[in-house]
Structure 1
Amino acid sequence: MARRGEDLGGEFVRSAWVVLAIWALYGAVHLALLPLLGWDVPGPDEWTRLLQVRAWMDGQSWWDVTQYRMNPPAGFSMHWSRLVDLPLALAIAVLGEDWGMAVVPLVWLLPVMFALRSIMLRLGFSRVAYGFGLILLPLFPLLPGSYAPLSIDHHVPQAVLGVICAALLLSPRVWAAVAAGFFAAAWVVISLEGLVLVAVLAGLYALRYLVEEQRLLPWFLLSLTVSAAFLSLATRPNAELFGPFCDILRPGHIATFGIATLVAGIVPFLPFQQNAAGRLAGLALIPLASVPLALVVLGPCAVNPMAQLDPALAAWWHGYIAEGLPFWEQPVSVAAMLIWTLVPIIGGYWLAGRGGGFSDGAGMPWLLLFLFTLAAWAYSLLLLRAGLIAQLLTIPFAAVMLALLLPRTRAIPSAAPRALATLCCFMLATPTFASALGKPLDPLFPTPTMARGAAAPMAEEPCDYAQLDRLEPGLLLVTMDAAPEILGKTGHTVIAASYHRNQQPMVDIIAAYTGTDQDARAIIDTYRPDYVIACQSAVDFALYRTATPENFANTLADGKVPAWLTPVAGFDNGVLRVYRTR
């Protein structure tokens, strides 16, 4: 592989200006297409993020992320972090709501591109490999939509922070380890799902000490501990930190980080640290001290934050959220995409070694990136949304594959074999083709996420929930997926939405639609909603219809309205039906 400093043109290609130009072009194309594609907010999580920012900008406390228009007056407790709200609120304040939501995902893309640039410079990429690394993002299926306008959920910032940590990991500098600890802390404060890969980061800093005697691990852990404590206290009320929930970073986590920091700081001063066996024995003390502490102080929260999920939610809700499921519960095309991502990771690493990429001190950075990417890939097999960071980290490996293999294909004299070989290079380097080839197999091996609502007839026309704003504001009994959009477009309130802390209202919504008319009436008597909503094209409404032939969802779908409901004029037929309770 060619090295840095090849020529002046190569230096320009690697400059920050080229990164900015490619990012600006990518953003300009997306924003230009937005009026054609529409301004529809992608899903419930994006709507709820917007509702959270609206409430804060309207005066709700920074410390309070409760959604008070869900299950009023108590509201819905949320575990989301204000850290994600900050850039969105700023963009909305400057550009207005629509353009603020359009721009923020593209803003998140910029640090990703600079982190990839840093990785490629650290590894000494050739000009060609570097160029590929800047333009390959659209060929990784999970990435384009994640950075598209209006995609404002918190999974994108998590991936951004993960890639930044990867770039900092490759540096031998103390300041980089301290910065990595800060960004890792922000990562786990936003979502505890990041804890797995943050632990891998700590393990890789330990590897640097084991192999190279670089004492970066204590600095990383110290920064992680202090930053996690600061960011938690700065963004969450104390009552929540010590509350019953397992889905946020708790004092027990921070105490565990602290013990790991203390032991890691002592290890270099222990006997026998001059040899690898002694260093390995010293490093082993860190998990021996910290893991038992975590099990004691965190209890069930140390194992599974979702362990207390109600069986009804597991059966009718959580088991249908594709982004939270492992690869064996995904459609064939998605599973193939996840698995195939391993090919460019291994292929790029192997080719980089053969091409001389491990010389000039780049061997350890390459190994660190390879192991971290491999861990992210393995995590993505268990949790689909972790595939976002896995695919971002795979880009440098894919770039190396293309830079080293494509020149060989161009040397093939015959046009047809040359074109086929070129296509095969891209098939090897990205998971897009594996996903496309698996698509025809999806109907042959249906999964629960694919079959959601398929057993019950559904209308094709989407429900226009903005029409509900014509009604006098009231409390709605409505399926959970539609609830955030209704709150975003109308002045109504709802009983529940799909956020796991608030299990009882969620269970009651499911029980109302999947149970008998009498079950629904009992729940209505408990919550006293003003309206009952039935969207014929909503996939969760269709799913509830599959429970039993005579359940409440089927009663509404078939137009057999109970006597205690009155059809609302203008909503008594068609895809969106509304009933007033008596």
Structure 2
Amino acid sequence: MVLLAIFIIATASVIAGLRATDYVGADNDDAMRLVEVRDFLAGQGWFDMMQYRLGLDGGTLMHWSRLVDLPIAGLIALFGLFLPPGPSEAAALFLWPILLIVPVVIGVARACWNIGRRQTMIIGLVLIVLSLISNIRFQPGNIDHHNVQLALIALLVAGLTDRLGRWKGHVLAGIMAGLAVAVGVETTPLVAMAGIVVALRWAWHGAPMDGAARAFGLSLAATVAAAFLVTTPPRLYAMVTCDNLSLGFFAIATAGGLALALSAHIASRRSRIARLLALAASGAAVAAVTLSVAPQCLQNPLASLDPLLKTLWLERVQEAQSIVQMVQTMPSYVGFGFAAGTIAIIVCLARIWRNDRRELHLVFLALCLPTLAISMLQVRGTTFLNFLSIFPLSLAVSDLRSRAHREPKTIGAELAFAGLMLISIPSVWAIASAAVAKVANTDDTVMAGIEPSACVARDAIAPLADEPIGVVAAPSNLGASILRFTHHRVLAAPYHRNPAGMLAELNIGLAGAEAAKNLLKRDGVTLLAFCAEDGQTSLIAERAPDGLYAALGRGIVPAYLQPIATPEQAALKIFRVLP
């Protein structure tokens, strides 16, 4: 069954890849990851995470992990042994997301087997198949780290659901938790909750959870420490950043893991009260480390962004929007993103109330409930919410199916089984919303997928590549593609580590013609790329009707901008900045 599930998902992904017009995913992060991998293969140091062609002079220190760059670079190098550079790159990017299907499916299968044996595992496999065949993150070309994170979380849950006290599963969970922190901080709240779950189960059970608690704590601490040493240059050991694995998360995670292991060593055979006191002391120690080393990481790392960036960039990033914003801009997403997770939480609460495998459902509730809260603040969390919902819903559907078999003449049991199975599938909600949108004759549908702008296509950017190497001012959504297809430096790409470059580009577009000329010269810009259909460009033109972008949108070109020949009706207009 596991092999069949992997085969079905992989086949769907291959078909999607063969139909694609580009071998790189449509998301900016996919193009940016490729740029980072190319630089690494070209000789940029392992510890050197500067993107020298992004932002103002000197570049931008990126927050991504080499742990994701390495396997992609390895595949490109492997295919490069018998393919030219372009095809070897395309082959590697085709294969990498498909390879990640394997740990996701294995993790789901193992976790569902742990909680309900064969029938629950089969239902879980059906749900993950239906989830991943429509998930673009596992289609060829999608090389950002979100698919890696899902694979790590799948194996983390598999370890957490291992039978009570079994240390091997908790070693796996600790290693996956540590790697998840190293790969991207989006999963940090989930990792923290997994640690709390293990700690509370140990405090409740005592000696039966001794080995498991020690195993999780030590493996988490060791993995985070190893990842920190392997990916952080010594000169940055003392730097605290809250968007990647730095001293902050290293100190917090290792302190938490070691404190749990020490508590288990000291108090596992003492009374429950003593264990709770030991756990409280451990929590106080971790809190003290957090407040002394990284108090700033308790806040939103994007809270300090310039108000102009928040208005013209962050508030327009779909995955960073709140559920309130999504209800206003794309209400159909609410069902797709939140329904299965909300139903899973309701199922957990009901079964806890009825004392039906209470501890197991408390574990799932502890994982799903905070993820729902995070998703309501930023809808990017719904990816993890939908994924986590698979486990309690698979068990619930399995139990209803067993009941239906026991009561073959009771139509209600069959309907309950089929109904819960149906509403546990996020894509069902997406299809329903698409049907409603079609009847209502609106474009509000999550089934449309990502539609990249014509301005980011290779053909649109090709005229830029023929120009002498310089600095390009262009909307941030074009930045990663310009870096991919040319050797220029760009002022802006949609990354919060480059606020100065993004602000420079925004101010150029907002400024009047003469003021914009001075800003272009100040920032050393030699080329300007104008995309009228870009959403941010439109916002700038509306905000500053007398600004440069508004003028270019009306066809008014200042004398200091020299048009570069582009195909007629081209979406991207390119100008040289004259001295």
Cα gap change, 1:356/1:323 in structure 2, threshold over 3 Å: closer, same or farther? Answer: same
Is residue 185 of structure 1 aligned with residue 169 of structure 2? Answer: no
Residue 143 of structure 1 contacts residue 388 of structure 1 at CA under 8 Å; is this kept in 2?
A: no
Instruction: Supply the AA of the counterpart residue of 2:114.
Output: R
2:369 is the alignment partner of 1:374: yes
SS of match in other structure, 2:528:
strand
SS of the aligned residue for 1:561 comes to coil
Deviation of residue 299 (structure 1)?
Answer: 3.1
Number of equivalent positions: 550
Match of 1:296 in 2: 292
Counterparts of 1:548 and 1:267, CA distance in 2? 60
Distance in 1 (alpha carbons) for counterparts of 2:353 and 2:287: 39
Match for residue 228 of structure 2 among 223, 226, 232: 232
State yes or no: 1:98 paired with 2:95: no
For structure 2, list consecutive stretches of 5 or more residues without a partner in the other structure.
80-87, 447-451
SS at match of 1:179: helix
> Is the Cα–Cα contact under 8 Å of residues 133 and 399 in structure 1 kept in the other structure?
yes
Structure 1 residues 349 and 403, CA gap change in structure 2 (3 angstroms): same
The reply to whether residue 579 of structure 1 matches residue 575 of structure 2 is: yes
Counterparts of 2:92 and 2:398 in 1: how far apart (Å)? 37
Q: Which residue identity is paired with 2:370?
A: A
Conserved? CA contact 1:351–1:400, under 8 Å: no
Q: Deviations over 1:441-465 (max 9, x none)?
A: 7999999x9xxxxxxxx99787522
SS at match of 1:533: strand
* Alignment pair present for 1:494 and 2:490: yes
Change (3 A) 1:281 1:74: same
**Aligned residue type for 1:28:** T
Query: 1:167 aligns to what?
Result: 158
Q: 1:516 is aligned with what amino acid?
A: G
Q: Deviations over 1:135-157 (max 9, x none)?
A: 22354489611211111111221
Change in CA separation of 1:71 and 1:402 when aligned onto 2, cut-off 3 Å: same
Whole-angstrom distance in 2 between the partners of 1:233 and 1:459? 40
Amino acid at match of 1:181: G
Q: 1:286-336 CA distances to partner (integer Å, 9 max, x unpaired)? A: 222221221122132343322322222111111111212332222222223
How does 1:134-533 map onto structure 2 within 5 Å? Answer: 134-137=125-128, 139-140=130-131, 144-171=135-162, 172-213=165-206, 214-215=209-210, 216-243=212-239, 245-268=241-264, 274-330=270-326, 331-346=330-345, 349=348, 358=357, 364-405=359-400, 424-438=419-433, 440=436, 464-533=460-529
Partner of 1:7: none
Return 96-105 or 511-520, whichever deviates more: 511-520
1:551: how far off?
A: 1.8
Stretch moving more, 19-28 or 113-122: 19-28
Distance 1:379 1:302, change over 3 A: closer
Q: Supply the AA of the counterpart residue of 1:85.
A: D
CA contact (8 A) 1:264 1:286 kept: yes
Q: Is the 8 A contact 2:400 2:413 kept in 1?
A: no
In the superposition, the TM-score normalised over structure 1's length comes to 0.84
Query: How much does 1:70 deviate?
Result: 1.9
| Structure-2 residue corresponding to 1:23 | 6
Aligned-partner Cα distance in 2 for 1:63–1:497: 22
| Matched-pair contact (CA < 8 Å) for 1:347–1:401 | no
With over 3 angstroms needed to count, the CA separation of the structure-2 counterparts of 1:580 and 1:110, relative to structure 1, is: same
Identity percentage of aligned residues: 25
Q: Distance in 1 between matches of 2:553 and 2:31?
A: 26
Q: Is the alpha carbon distance of 1:142 and 1:482 closer, same or farther for their aligned partners in structure 2, counting shifts above 3 Å?
A: farther
Tell me the equivalent position of 1:36: 19
Deviation of 1:481 after TM superposition, in Å, equals 0.9
SS state at 1:38 partner:
coil
Distance 1:308 1:404, change over 3 A: same
- Deviation digits for residues 505-550 of structure 1 (CA, Å, limit 9, x no counterpart): 1111111112322332222011222211112222322232221222
The structural deviation recorded for 1:406 is 5.9
Residue pair 1:345, 1:374 contacting (<8 A) in 2 also: no
**RMSD of aligned C-alpha atoms?**
3.5
Conserved? CA contact 2:364–2:392, under 8 Å: no
**Secondary structure of residue in 1 paired with 2:242:** coil
Shift of 1:577: 0.9
1:352-387 superposed Cα distances (whole Å, 9 cap, x missing partner) = 8899984xxxx6445423432333333322332222
Of the structure 1 ranges 28-37 and 521-530, higher mean CA displacement relative to structure 2 is found in: 28-37
Cα distance in 2 for residues equivalent to 1:77 and 1:413: 65
**Aligned-partner Cα distance in 2 for 1:151–1:297:** 35
Indicate whether 1:117 and 2:116 are aligned.
no
1:70 partner letter: L
AA matched with 1:27: A
Q: Distance in 2 between matches of 1:350 and 1:200?
A: 18
Distance 1:366 1:418 in 2: 22
Q: Write out per-residue CA displacement over residues 106-133 of structure 1, whole angstroms, 9 at most, x where no aligned residue.
A: 1111101111111111113343x32221
CA distance in 1, matches of 2:62, 2:395: 42
Amino acid at match of 1:46: D
1:281 aligned counterpart, secondary structure: helix
CA distance in 2, matches of 1:212, 1:97: 51
Give the distance between the partners of 1:552 and 1:77, measured in 2 at CA: 29
Give the match's secondary structure for 1:566.
strand
Q: How many angstroms does 1:279 deviate by? A: 2.3
Does the Cα contact within 8 Å between 2:225 and 2:250 map onto a contact in 1? Answer: yes
Alpha carbons of 1:352 and 1:100: their partners in 2 closer, same or farther (altered >3 Å)?
A: farther
Counterpart Cα distance in 2 of 1:141 and 1:26:
6
Question: Given the superposition, is the C-alpha separation of residues 281 and 445 from structure 1 closer, same or farther in structure 2, using an over 3 Å criterion?
Answer: farther
Please, which moves more after superposition, 41-50 or 26-35? 26-35
Q: Indicate conservation of the 8 Å contact 1:115/1:164, yes or no.
A: yes
Q: Are residues 1:75 and 2:59 paired? A: yes
TM-score by length of 2: 0.85
Structure 1 unmatched runs, 5+: 1-17, 450-457
Matched, 1:89 2:73: yes
Amino acid at match of 1:494: V
Query: Do the aligned partners of residues 365 and 418 (structure 1) sit closer, same or farther apart at CA in structure 2, a change above 3 Å counting?
Result: closer
> CA distance change for structure 1 residues 166 and 555 in 2, over 3 Å: closer, same or farther?
same
Contact 1:229 / 1:254 at 8 angstroms: preserved in 2? yes
Report how far residue 207 of structure 1 moved: 1.7
Q: Cα–Cα, structure 1 residues 142 and 368, in superposed 2: closer, same or farther, change >3 Å? A: farther
3-state SS of paired residue (1:305) = coil
Please tell me the residue identity of whatever aligns with 2:290: A
- Please say if residues 52 and 58 of structure 2, whose CA atoms lie closer than 8 Å, have aligned partners that are also in contact: yes
User: Structure 1 pair 290/550, CA: closer, same or farther in 2 (3 Å)?
Assistant: same
User: CA shift at 1:21, angstroms?
Assistant: 3.1
Q: Secondary structure at the match of 2:61?
A: coil
Per the alignment, residue 540 of structure 1 pairs with 536
- Name the CA shift for 1:21/1:202 in 2 (closer, same or farther; >3 Å): same
8 Å Cα contact 2:171/2:219 also seen in 1: yes
Cα deviation, 1:380-432, whole Å, max 9, x if unaligned, reads 223322222222222233333444446888999999x9998787444432233
Do 2:37 and 2:69's aligned partners in 1 also have CA atoms closer than 8 Å? yes
Q: SS at 1:124's partner residue? A: helix
**Change in 2 beyond 3 A, CA 1:297/1:343:** closer
Map 1:558-577 to 2 at 5 A. 558-570=554-566, 574-577=570-573
Instruction: Name whichever of 217-226 and 567-576 sits farther off.
Output: 567-576
Pick which of 208-217 and 438-447 moved more: 438-447
The offset of 1:224, in angstroms, is 1.9
Which digits, 9 at most, give the CA deviation of each residue in 1:18-51, with x for residues without a partner?
3123212321232134232322531211001001
Q: In the TM superposition, what is the alpha-carbon distance from 1:79 to its structure 2 partner?
A: 0.7
How many angstroms apart in 2 are the aligned matches of 1:498 and 1:516? Answer: 24
- Name the CA distance, whole Å, in 2 between partners of 1:307 and 1:177: 35
Looking at structure 2, the residues matched to 493 and 200 of structure 1 have their Cα atoms a distance apart, in angstroms, of 41
